[in-house]
Amino acid sequence: MTTVSTEFLSHTLSLRTNSKSSWHPKPNAVITCRIPVLNEDNPRKRKNNYNKGNGRVNSSDTGPRHYDFRDTHHMRALNRLCKTGKYTEALYFLEQMVKRNYKPDVILCTKLIKGLFTSKKTEKAVRVMEILEQHGDPDAFAYNAVISGFCRSDRFDAANGVLVRMKDRGFSPDVVTYNILIGSLCARGKLDLAMKVMDQLMKDNCNPTVITYTILIEATIIHGGIDEAMKLLDEMMSRGLQPDMYTYNVIVRGMCKQGLVYRAFDFVCNLSTTPSLNLYNLVLKGLLNEGRWETGERLMSDMMLKGCEPNVVTYSVLINSLCRDGKTGEAVDLLKVMKEKGLSPDAYCYDPLISAFCKEGKVDLAIGFVDDMISAGWLPDIVNYNTIMGSLCKKGRGDEALTIFKKLDEVGCPPNVSSYNTMLGALWSSGDKIRALGMVLEMLNNGVDPDRITYNSLISCLCRDGMVDEAIGLLVDMERSEWQPTVISYNIVLLGLCKAHRMVDAIEVLAVMVDNGCQPNETTYTLLVEGVSYAGWPSDAMELAKSLASINAISQDLFRRLNKQSLFRA
């Protein structure tokens, strides 16, 4: 296979060609070139170069022959390779075909270009475009595929080079071409460059669409603010373009994310068209996240007045907000109302109820909602099960939690690291250290990697049982792992050392902590002051506390609180 150069200059697509082919622009290439060979008398008929009767090629044709890809099994074979994702093989097949004077089909080549870019085989995608330009008739779709591929690879200079080359070959980039560039630039935070592309679009007498403006509005909200985005909306409407619901969704979501929920409320209620239910749900969620229940009720009144009935999403937003505010009773009542209206609750309705009842210690009610959820056809996820198991463990019902844990694989929810962490802490707390450590081995055997919480849980368990040296060993292992110890990890070990009156070791751990770039917090210093005092050095503890307070390492309130505890008295 021919090796291909893929160096792209900023203003041209520099693809290597052989000595017999050139990259000079073809005049006025058009999209109708998708039909490779046409009969001169009847453009809808394919030209037949075969003698009638003997089926042999007419030897009187002296020019180069171009067999029609569509009339052979080769096109079907190439299409099959593309469909099965064998893009490299497809390229090789394509190269062999053009060597035999088969004219490449632009539709299949475009599909191959997209597949190769998706597979991150940029050079091969470029080679396909080279073949298409040398031996076929590329169209705007093919160029757009190359531009899109380079944009996804963050090679905007190369994409711009393709755009220039496209123009040089007689193609006028359409709004789709520019939208690809604008969308890719906006997605990567390059709003200024996207605006320059918009200017170029205008210079080329190409009319922007609602999609063009929506892309720019969304990026402007993030990088320029709502006011600038609204100017774009005004510009869009002045050009006779009417925003669609996606445009409005982008604006409302942006307002809510920036805390402008009242502005979002006014915007939706004052729209000249009837807002979609999705718009109302977005604003409702934003209002209730800030506890604006009265305004939320006004919004729902406006919604009902305009003929928008609440849907499952509306109810899930309300139920979630009620549960978050501790109003689980009202949330349950709302779930009943929802069912009475003929709406089937989904997992997003049940999740907050399960979590809320577990937080309130009403784990049996939470389990009841898990059963209801399953009956309604929704499978609980691992988060639901972890919440239930954690609540059971807190209530001293570790055996029940373990029973659920053992059945997780059966119900299609393999335990994750959070599941193992929950059971590890529960088993250790109940005194079953052997099974707790066995849980760690099982976790590793099942390919579940420990996280920072796993390490901290084990360190805490070891320190609680006076096994501080083992905890320090685990801390050292943690320093060598991908999970670097946090201030919490060090504080757990410091607490264990202070309780064991090993202040020299505690000071050494503090030094290591600082050397590793982990800054002590107020809890760290409190542990040290208390440790020094309990070790029998109250005057030293007093001096340490004063020094820490003088540099604002601990607050004056904490200093007074420590003083009240008689820590500084012999």
Residue by residue, pLDDT tens for the chain (570 residues) are 333 333 332 333 333 333 333 333 333 333 233 333 333 333 333 333 333 333 333 333 433 444 454 445 667 877 888 888 888 888 888 888 888 888 888 898 999 899 988 888 988 888 989 888 888 888 889 999 999 999 888 888 888 888 888 888 888 888 999 999 999 999 999 999 999 999 999 998 889 999 999 999 999 999 989 999 999 999 999 999 999 999 999 999 999 999 999 999 999 999 988 999 999 999 999 999 999 999 999 999 999 999 999 999 999 999 999 999 999 999 999 999 999 999 999 999 999 999 999 999 999 999 999 999 999 889 999 999 999 999 999 898 988 999 999 999 998 899 999 999 999 988 888 888 888 888 889 999 999 999 999 999 999 999 988 999 999 999 998 888 888 999 999 999 999 999 998 999 999 999 999 999 999 999 999 998 888 888 888 888 888 888 888 888 888 888 888 777 665 555
Q: What is the pLDDT of residue 568?
A: 58
Give the model's pLDDT for residue 566: 60
Q: What is the pLDDT of residue 3?
A: 35
The set of residues, in sequence order, having a beta carbon less than 8 Å from that of 466 and lying 6+ positions away, is 496, 500
User: So what's the pLDDT on residue 293?
Assistant: 94
Instruction: State how far the alpha carbon of 474 is from the alpha carbons of 64, 298, 471, 477, in Å.
Output: 75, 56, 5, 5
Structural element, H or E, at residue 103: strand 102-103
Domains and CATH numbers, the chain: 1-173 (1.25.40), 397-449 (no CATH)
Cβ pair 117, 149 in contact under 8 A: yes
Q: Can you tell me the distance from the alpha carbon of 311 to that of 318, in angstroms, rounded to the nearest whole number? A: 11
Residue 195 confidence (pLDDT): 94
**Cβ of 565: how many Cβ atoms within 10 Å?**
10
Q: What is the pTM of this model?
A: 0.70
Q: Which helix (H) or strand (E) element contains residue 68? A: strand 67-68
d(C-alpha 75, C-alpha 72), whole Å:
6
Spatial contact of 83 and 118, defined as CB atoms under 8 Å apart: no
Nearest to 77 by CA among 46, 45, 50, 112: 112
3-state class of 441 per DSSP?
helix
Tens-digit pLDDT profile for residues 31-75: 233 333 333 333 333 333 333 333 333 333 433 444 454 445 667
Model pLDDT, residue 417? 95
pLDDT of residue 48: 37
Beta bridge partners of 92: none
pLDDT value, residue 83: 83
